[in-house]
Amino acid sequence: MELSQKTIHEINDLLEKKEVTVTEVTQSVVDRIAAVENKTAAYLNLQTEEALRAAGVIDEKLGEQKKRTPLEGIPYALKDNMCTQGILTTCASKMLYNFNPPYNAHVYDRLIEEGGILLGKTNMDEFAMGSSTENSAYKITHNPWDLNKVPGGSSGGSAVAVAADTAFYTLGSDTGGSIRQPASFCGVVGMKPTYGLVSRYGLVAFASSLDQIGPFTKDVEDCALVLNAIIGHDPKDSTSLNLEKKDYTQTLKQGVKGMKIGVAQAFFGEGLQPEVRKSLEDAIAVYKAMGAEIVDVSFQYLDYALSAYYMISSAEASSNLARYDGIRYGYRAEEYDGLVDLYKKTRSQGFGEEVKRRIMLGTYALSSGYYDAYYKKAMQVRTLIKDDFNQVFDGCDVLLTPTAPTTAFGIGEKTSNPLEMYLTDIYTVPVNIAGIPGISIPCGLDNNGMPIGMQLLGPILSEETLLKVAWAFENEKGLKNLKAPLETEV
């Protein structure tokens, strides 16, 4: 097995024993990028020369120091909506084609402190709006399990980089499923932490009350390692929670005996691919066999989550994206007649179709006469959904659901029908509405060999429990660090 194919904790073991150097590890990933990036197109911007240079510096440092931290010298990538000083941050939009941030996102600063090695910035749906990464202004990212299929979105590039071994881990952002759905489509682990657990400072805002940063990894143990590094209070994000730091690896392997795992019919309704259903039923049997108690739980308002989500997220987006006006940074139209025309031309030329549609939806929902019927209504329904989850978690420790109704769909298959695209997030959006954490882990393959994802949800700040329950399944089934059949593809 090439070094690039290993997990973080496997590389950590090798580095501890001094069997490999950080330079060798980094070179392995750089070679892998050279071999497959032309097929997967996960990256918008590569920093491989800088990465190799940084690796050399860390090797020298590690020669002298006794103890290394778990992410020190491990190459990773960031979704291109996290600010990196000196490195372009485009949000996959023409609007920010030349944006060089004057400061770093909090998570990037954290990973610099941990000694992480940045390989580059990954492709995404423009401003994180989409479910397939097809809304990027720059390139189409391909699913390594079938290059004709989408990787999911909006953090598609981050999911693919991990699935194709072109990064050991990546960070994505999840507003309505943008980490969990692509993790599911690409056969990797993806986690959306509790709202407020990870600072959003320097994450280009889409919908501020829903956005949250989280990791993509090759297995659950790696997820715990990355989460350890990125959580924590940040005074620069006023919604960041001030809690004592946890070590999520401590409780990881405690098992699920006696735990209550909830299953709700609402997540197994119409439109669920039969193989996904079957795979989830098998997973439920696995948990039962491991000593967990399976309990039926029910929701009252879940059917309204997607509508509420698109109203809230579009409204917040229309407000957040008002800042792109061609004055202070980013794209500016070449020809215009006066200031208002400069705004209009700049925004109309700089934003892509889906982003403009969301801004329009959001502006409509917030406009006088419609505010109560759409926006306020959606915020009220948000309360109902939040209460729904609270009541469900009174009866179980975690909830087990499919991550998405289907496995990855074909490139171009859903681009002409926005509503159909939105429906691919039907099982992930309620989680952001309630602010609770969720993790997607692989639980099988469909008849075409495409990965199926299982989603585990828990109450606010139940990350420890979620990781424990996820690890137990992964360990029992051995479904970790899955390898996409990339080499055999044309």
SS3 assignment, position 21: coil
Site for other proteins in 97-116 (CB under 8 A): 98-100, 102-103
User: What whole-number distance in Å separates Cα of residue 112 and Cα of residue 70?
Assistant: 13
User: What whole-number distance in Å separates Cα of residue 298 and Cα of residue 80?
Assistant: 38
Site for other proteins in 133-152 (CB under 8 A): none
User: What whole-number distance in Å separates Cα of residue 455 and Cα of residue 443?
Assistant: 9
Q: Which of 9, 336, 446, 476 binds other proteins (CB under 8 A)?
A: 336
Identify which of residues 285 and 322 has a Cβ nearer to other proteins in the complex.
Answer: 322
Identify which of residues 289 and 340 has a Cβ nearer to other proteins in the complex.
Answer: 340
Q: Which of 2, 265, 339, 412 binds other proteins (CB under 8 A)?
A: 339
How does DSSP assign 399-410, residue by residue?
EEEESSSSSPPB
**Is-contact 473 441, C-beta < 8 A?**
yes
User: What whole-number distance in Å separates Cα of residue 433 and Cα of residue 428?
Assistant: 9
Active site residue 154: yes
Q: Which of 39, 139, 246, 332 binds other proteins (CB under 8 A)?
A: 332
Active site residue 79: yes
Site for other proteins in 383-402 (CB under 8 A): 383-384, 386
Provide the minimum distance between the beta carbon of 199 and other proteins in the complex, in angstroms, as a whole number. 13
Q: Among 132, 154, 199, 313, which one carries the catalytic annotation?
A: 154
What type of residue sits at position 447?
Answer: N
Which of 219, 226, 214 minimizes the C-alpha distance to 5? 219
Identify which of residues 157 and 459 has a Cβ nearer to other proteins in the complex.
Answer: 459
Q: Which of 76, 206, 374, 471 binds other proteins (CB under 8 A)?
A: 374
Provide the minimum distance between the beta carbon of 421 and other proteins in the complex, in angstroms, as a whole number. 11
The reply on whether position 201 binds other proteins by CB under 8 A is no
The contact pattern for other proteins, residues 417-456, with x = CB under 8 A and - = no contact, is -xx--x----------xxx---------------------
The reply on whether position 458 binds other proteins by CB under 8 A is no
Q: Report the phi/psi class of residue 65: left, alpha or beta, with left for phi > 0 and alpha for psi in -120 to 50.
A: beta
Q: Name the helix (H) or strand (E) containing 190.
A: strand 189-192
The reply on whether position 359 binds other proteins by CB under 8 A is yes
Provide the minimum distance between the beta carbon of 223 and other proteins in the complex, in angstroms, as a whole number. 22
Phi then psi for 80, rounded to 5 degrees? -75, 20
Q: Among 4, 28, 79, 158, which one carries the catalytic annotation?
A: 79
Phi then psi for 301, rounded to 5 degrees? -120, 10
Helix 8-16 to helix 22-40 angle (10° resolution) is 160
Pairing of strands 451-457, 398-402: antiparallel
Q: Which two tokens stand for residue 409?
A: 């769909």
The reply on whether position 238 binds other proteins by CB under 8 A is yes
Of 44-52, 182-190, 268-276, 325-333: span binding other proteins (CB under 8 A): 325-333
The reply on whether position 310 binds other proteins by CB under 8 A is yes
Active site residue 314: no
The reply on whether position 413 binds other proteins by CB under 8 A is no
Q: Which two tokens stand for residue 390?
A: 């609270």
DSSP one-letter code for 267: G
**Is-contact 126 135, C-beta < 8 A?**
yes
User: What whole-number distance in Å separates Cα of residue 29 and Cα of residue 3?
Assistant: 8
The reply on whether position 202 binds other proteins by CB under 8 A is no
Residues annotated as part of the active site: 79, 154, 178
Binding site for other proteins (CB under 8 A): 98-100, 102-103, 195-196, 209, 235, 238-239, 241, 301, 303-304, 306-308, 310-311, 318, 322, 325-332, 336, 338-340, 342-345, 347-348, 351, 356-357, 359-361, 363-364, 367, 373-374, 376-384, 386, 418-419, 422, 433-435, 460
